[in-house]
Chains A and B, each alone.
Chain A
Amino acid sequence: GAVVSQHPSRVICKSGTSVKIECRSLDFQATTMFWYRQFPKQSLMLMATSNEGSKATYEQGVEKDKFLINHASLTLSTLTVTSAHPEDSSFYICSAKGDTQYFGPGTRLTVL
């Protein structure tokens, strides 16, 4: 199956700092990538759809100025959580679209 990597796997930061998460499709090109947020024991909530070379499409209620998404190449999308606060602590998962969606291993963000 297709492989998607995500980095870092875990990050702890202080309130007010920005955190960048990278998502890479390793063995296929993905014009579309997705960013999800997942709270404990809950479903995957789509935050935004990232299209290579164009602006991301954000879901209702997701602040685009807080969650900056860049999809600069066919294999890389980044999510930057700006001025992070404790309520941003969560499990962030990216996926890349091939014949289905292939998920990265996720990033556990803890904001102190």
Chain B
Amino acid sequence: QQPVQSPQAVILREGEDAVINCSSSKALYSVHWYRQKHGEAPVFLMILLKGGEQKGHDKISASFNEKKQQSSLYLTASQLSYSGTYFCGTEEGSGGSNYKLTFGKGTLLTVNP
């Protein structure tokens, strides 16, 4: 089941904050966040496991609410380099041998000077 990402697109000025949401109708084991720049492969940002944890590095952090099957990616004090399309990938179930990620449609983030 493809997760739903919102918003579809967001435009920021450098230094502004943004939140990207990812939700699923299925029980999730983990949520993986990636950023993809045009013509390039997705780059791994972080993984959140079942347990409602929050993670972050630098000015990018994320949370996972397993009760709501939702994850949010927080970008604070955005930089020009943050521009790209953000994808969440969700792993359903309880983890294990049938692992695969299903990706949302992506959120296009544009940071302007």
Number of interface residues of A (CB under 8 A): 20
Which of A42, A44, A93, A97 has most B Cβ within 10 Å? Answer: A44
Interface residues in B1-41 (C-beta closer than 8 Å to A) = 2, 32, 34, 39-41
Task: Tell me if A42 and B99 are in contact (CB < 8 A).
Answer: no
Interface of B is mostly: loop
Q: Chain B, 86-113, contact with A by CB distance < 8 Å: what is the 0/1 string?
A: 0101000000000111111110000000
Task: Tell me if A101 and B89 are in contact (CB < 8 A).
Answer: yes
Per the bound structure, the CA–CA distance linking A37 and B21 in Å amounts to 24
Return B104 CB to nearest CB of chain A, in Å. 7
Number of interface residues of B (CB under 8 A): 20
Residues of A whose CB lies within 8 Å of any CB of B are: 1, 6, 32, 34, 42-44, 46, 49, 93, 97, 99-106, 108
Residues of B whose CB lies within 8 Å of any CB of A are: 2, 32, 34, 39-44, 47, 87, 89, 99-106
25 residue pairs of the A-B complex, CB under 8 angstroms, read: A6-B41, A34-B100, A34-B101, A42-B105, A42-B106, A43-B2, A43-B87, A43-B105, A43-B106, A44-B87, A46-B100, A46-B102, A46-B103, A49-B100, A93-B41, A97-B99, A100-B47, A101-B89, A101-B101, A103-B34, A103-B41, A103-B42, A105-B40, A105-B41, A106-B39
